[in-house]
Structure 1
Amino acid sequence: MHEALTHASDRLGIELPALSQASDFSTTEIQEARQFFMSRLGENHGLDIVVCGSMARREMSTASDFDFLVVGHSLVEDATRFRSFRAACEDWCDERALKPPGSTGIFGRVVAATELVDQIGLDSDTNASLTRRILMLEEGVSVLEPHLHRKFAKVAIGRYLHGGQSEPGGTPRFLLNDVVRYWRTIAVDYQAKVWQSLTPNDWGLRYLKLRISRKLTFVATLASLFLVELRRPEDSRTFLVDQFVEVPALARLAQLSDDLADEDQSLAYLREVLVVAEEFSEFLADDDRRTAAKEVLPPAREATDEVFSAMRERSIQLQQALEGLFFESPTLGPLSRKYLSF
């Protein structure tokens, strides 16, 4: 488990065994994936394989998907390499009994890093490109050539910072706005998918993931952006690159335990947030509870399944704790009101 999470759990007096186990499992899978792809594909092809999702967030379970993108960083002379990279990813899924990317078309594709960085906003920035760019920043992990992924993060963050900050050393508003845009987009798209589907498969589990896992990733990113203003690093760009490349999402949120050290109520809210994250990690690792949640149909308020209802109640309590943490804290409250309201 990342040292920031370990440090926070010690400071807050909580144990996180499920998150620790998921982190160890994820780290092992990432290391073995790197060995597999390096042996299978070699390096210096101008292509990288970036994984998102629970594996990248170090929250993986045996039921997790392998959500990958083949990312082009330069023009590849042999176009058949695109197919060989995708085939290697499919073989990895078969070998490890991992679920391949879902049917949405976001993952399992070849994408150009330059387009993701250059086309921010306006009509050319589709839902797909927005999703890929933000997820690659928020939780992406390279399983082939990590230096290329770090280069992507450096260039992407530089592009956002070029748009300006509110003030020297302030929170990067351009990047923050795009992160908020992505969060609002997936929330709206989720409702659209429920509306369009006459038989919403796995609805209950997707509902809980949106309200817990995805929400935690969003607020973890807000924490990193606010830390630019709170800690005033000498080099904001390098600080953010390190945050996104080196620190998993939940660990970025856990870092706040140091910045809120004198705020007992804020630390209590942070403690509750991490406890819910721990409980949901344990929930996701339990096949019976996952299956029960998948079988629940909308709307949530009419669900009768006790397993689903209990976790939904915890998601409500998570929301309340996050509201307290970000809006009642003397440290975070002014930033939240300034950057998240108007």
Structure 2
Amino acid sequence: MSELYLFSARASALERLQQITRDLSGANDAFGTRACVYATGSFGRLEAGPDSDLDLFIVLETDPSPPGKPLLNAVDEIKLKGALISAAEKNKLAKFDGGGRFLTSHKVGSFTEWLGSSEDDFRNTLTGRMLLLLESKPLVGNDTYAKTIDLVIAKYFRDYAGHEDAFVPSFLFNDVIRMWRTFCVNYEFHRKEGDSRNKIKNLKLKFSRMLTCYSGIVYLLAVYARDNRVRPDDVKAMIAISPTERLEAIVAADFGLPENSAATLKEAVHHALTSYSEFLGLTHSKKAVQIYTEDETMWRKKSYAFGRSLSTMIDCLGEVSPEADGLRRLILI
């Protein structure tokens, strides 16, 4: 597995991300105590290709006294966005999606204020919060980034006190599953009939979007299977590594599985990473649409097999104990 394209792509993406971060050092000095910027998408997953753009979220620190006015004024926010645009251009990245109209900001408490409400999706806080946890890398304002993560985790763990020895992260799991279903429904809304690019977008849904969500679920299920609990620090450890690294991490742990089940889990991870590596090789190609179209049936089968690999991981981890099976059941029903 050491020769997979995935690993060279990861190293390249990390190197490029580090250069972008260096190019934003001036913005970090000027604004990093009042805001944070984190990358999501292919850079956040450490798998950016030659034509990848930079998907960003901006979070603003607020005055602690009501009404919580942002500490970054409108002019400085424009300057920060200008620095982000300049860094993207300097690194010859694809133009921001939608002409930059998605380059919006949120207050530091917004990701928890609307959690679970009908406003959550409308305000894009569901996506911002989930991608913060599942595929993010900080570029500016590391302290605010960490503070935002702490606030979000605290919300999901509001019933943690008194249950530290056997805490089940059901609230978090349900929100991750909601994000996955939102990805699926949003795809159906935005796809255009007759557009050949829809096929690649559908494939990305079945690989990268699915992995973003279910790598987090599999990783935390593995922690629960091993420890019979999930702690806030376990979620932070999950956030700190990429989706593919989470799959690698679970085969390095000892879950007390029967020998056959352990072998099945390892094989499922190997198959998933190999399939995902092939998917990245396709999507990083300038002829991705043509290659996919020439053998659409094969790629569809690969995507279904990839999903089955993730399902197999969940089933294997659910076999560890009755408690782990209970969390596995929560994922399904």
- TM-score, normalised to structure 2's length? 0.85
CA distance in 2, matches of 1:45, 1:224: 32
- Percent identical among aligned pairs is 19
Is residue 6–residue 277 contact of structure 2 (8 Å, CA) maintained in 1? yes
Deviation, structure 1 residue 179: 0.5
Alignment length, in residue pairs?
315
Matched AA of 2:281: E
1:60 and 2:60 matched: no
CA drift of 1:276 comes to 0.6
Tell me the SS of whatever aligns to 1:62.
coil
State whether residues 327 and 336 of structure 1, in contact with CA within 8 Å, keep that contact through their aligned partners in structure 2. no
Q: Does 1:189 align with 2:180?
A: no
2:153 to 147, 153, 157: 157
* SS in structure 2 at match of 1:286: coil
* 2:166 matched residue in structure 1: 169
> Is the 1:226–1:335 contact (alpha carbons within 8 Å) kept by the matching residues of 2?
no
Is 1:83 aligned to 2:53, yes or no? no
**1:116 equivalent in alignment to 2:111:** yes
Do the aligned partners of 2:167 and 2:231 also contact (CA within 8 Å) in 1? no
- Partner amino acid, structure 2, of 1:267: K
> For 1:97, which of 92, 96, 99 is the aligned residue?
92
* Residue 93 to residue 153, structure 1, CA distance change in 2 (3 Å): same
Q: Deviations over 1:52-72 (max 9, x none)?
A: 011111111111110012211
The equivalent residue for 1:11 is none
Structure 2 gaps of 5+ residues are: 63-69
Separation of aligned partners in 1, 2:228 and 2:249: 15
Q: Is the 8 A contact 2:166 2:230 kept in 1?
A: no
Match of 1:144 in 2: 140
- Structure 2 residue 320 is matched with structure 1 residue 331: yes
> 1:233-248, aligned counterparts within 5 Å?
236-244=231-239, 246-248=240-242
Match of 1:314 among 302, 305, 317: 302
Identify which of 130, 133, 144 aligns with 1:134: 130
Question: Does the 8 Å contact 1:166/1:173 carry over to 2?
Answer: no
**Shift of residue 328 of structure 1?**
4.8
Q: State whether structure 2 residue 23 is matched by structure 1 residue 36.
A: yes
Match of 2:8 in 1: 21
Contact 1:117/1:159, CA 8 A, preserved across alignment: yes
Cα distance in 2, alignment partners of residues 145 and 189 from structure 1: 31
- Would the alpha carbon gap of residues 336 and 239 (structure 1) be closer, same or farther in structure 2, given more than 3 Å must change? closer
**One-letter code aligned to 1:226:** L
Q: CA deviation at 1:259?
A: 3.7
Cα distance in 1 between the residues matched to 2:233 and 2:25: 27
- Distance in 2 separating the partners of 1:63 and 1:77: 32
- The alpha carbon displacement at 1:110 in A equals 1.3
- Contact 2:4 2:274 survives alignment (8 Å): no
Larger deviation, residues 51-60 vs 164-173:
164-173
- Asked if the contact 1:61/1:285 (under 8 Å) is kept, the reply is yes
Q: Do 1:171 and 1:226's aligned partners in 2 also have CA atoms closer than 8 Å?
A: no
Distance 2:184 2:127 in 1: 12
Instruction: Name structure 1 gaps, 5 residues minimum.
Output: 1-13, 297-304
> Is 1:203 aligned to residue 210 of structure 2?
no
1:26 touches 1:56 (CA, 8 Å); kept in 2? no
Query: Is contact 2:54-2:93 (8 Å) kept?
Result: yes
Residues 96-150 of structure 1 show CA distances to partners (whole Å, capped at 9, x for unaligned) of: 2212332398841111121112210122212521111101111111112223212
Hey, what does 2:266 align to over in structure 1? 267
Deviations 1:249-306, CA, capped at 9 Å, x for gaps: 1111221112457321222112111111111122222212x2426xx7xxxxxxxx22
Q: What SS does structure 2 have at the residue aligned with 1:136? A: helix
CA shift in 2, pair 1:112/1:19, >3 Å: same
Distance of aligned partners of 1:319 and 1:40 in 2 relative to their CA distance in 1, 3 Å threshold: closer
Equivalent position amino acid for 1:147 in 2: D
Equivalents in 1 of 2:5, 2:23: separation in Å? 27
Aligned counterparts of 2:11 and 2:228: Cα–Cα separation in 1: 30
2: CA distance, partners of 1:25 / 1:229: 33
Residue identity opposite 1:175 in structure 2: L
Check 1:40–1:323 CA distance in 2 against 1; reply closer, same or farther (3 A cut). closer
Write the deviation string for residues 208-233 of structure 1: whole angstroms up to 9, x where unpaired: 10001111111111023213422339
The AA in structure 1 aligned to 2:49 is S
